[in-house]
Structure 1
């Protein structure tokens, strides 16, 4: 979530654990509440991760593929939204096509889960935003459709988690070598299971690191950040950050300090 300080004054965001048996495909549940009654609409910007989400929202539930651009959500009135963040690769068993086909798209969830998902959506939105109660309903819904374990899902999730956690990884061939696969095989796996190319996942992970540093207090040595993240020069890093976030790293950091 970009500009987290500003966002915290507008929305309430909480995370919740899924049932233990769902942990192999679901990373966590999330609940967003807001109340803008009598106030202007607010746009929250999100620099997405390489995950598919099932979102219970008005007027109907949707499955969101990996958003490779900047996701913007406009909030008006008062309400809440419940989301299921699948682990990288975790949504693949629910669709009959490569997850890359969902990239940058929001598809009615009924296409994957049938009309029952819209009935659940009405229940999730029709009552209070009771996290424990909603989690229980969603647990039951997904457990009733839990696919057989897929070892490829586990392997792909491990790849993405390793990329995210390892700043030293900067090239696709490094990832392929570490996991003992060819670059071509890695690309096919990511298209089939993740929904974004390994190069995009690498770059997005490093941009998340940069955004977190920019959101911190104090000055930032952007040339050092660019070098730490594997960029050949600061100009290349600045172009990537600006293309993804919409403003330069320096301007993003300045706006964050203004919020504090």
Structure 2
């Protein structure tokens, strides 16, 4: 596994990756403008095991997009009131209106994965989810929503390696939760849950697309390229912008700087 990962990483240099990523991100901006101009509604679901690279990919997808058009939705655990609702109800209110994109950092598929494996839902609730989910998604697609679902697939060895790196990185340690560690000891249970989920929810109207994510760079490029290729967008001509002439001064004088409190120049200590 390690050898395969190293060879795949060696075939994609950082410079080539960054150049292609920027090109794809430029296309994502064009996709965004098409969504806005056409009044389209795009939903992208990101699912997969912990440390599979979903968050990093979402970050690259959204990096240059307008947050008023494209938003990331990552819901916390449900409240007591939400637990009493129809399961899909709290997700419905986050669906896009015309001209919007929603990126779900985990979604209603929590019930098929962590809730089922960890016993946070009953067997009956899990069974009902597998029955209702295809119906729910067919309704979304029938109503005109563009629904794309991506499963990020990571090997057990690479997942554990990423977990261990988080332990030693103070900027990423927060990403390692007790629930993440459970995914190591329950690897096979999660595998069975994922297989059962795909059997019931990999439907023609909203198929699953699996992203091999042992190599993060390749996974990001592959996922973004596929998303772009799956939507029939076109480049919307940008509006013509004419800068106005700055009017002449009317005598305004800026107040003395010592009347305001400025942030200390921390950066000055690094200037050579």
Larger Rg over CA atoms: 2
TM-score normalised according to structure 1 size: 0.27
| Higher strand content, 1 or 2 | 1
TM-score normalised according to structure 2 size: 0.27
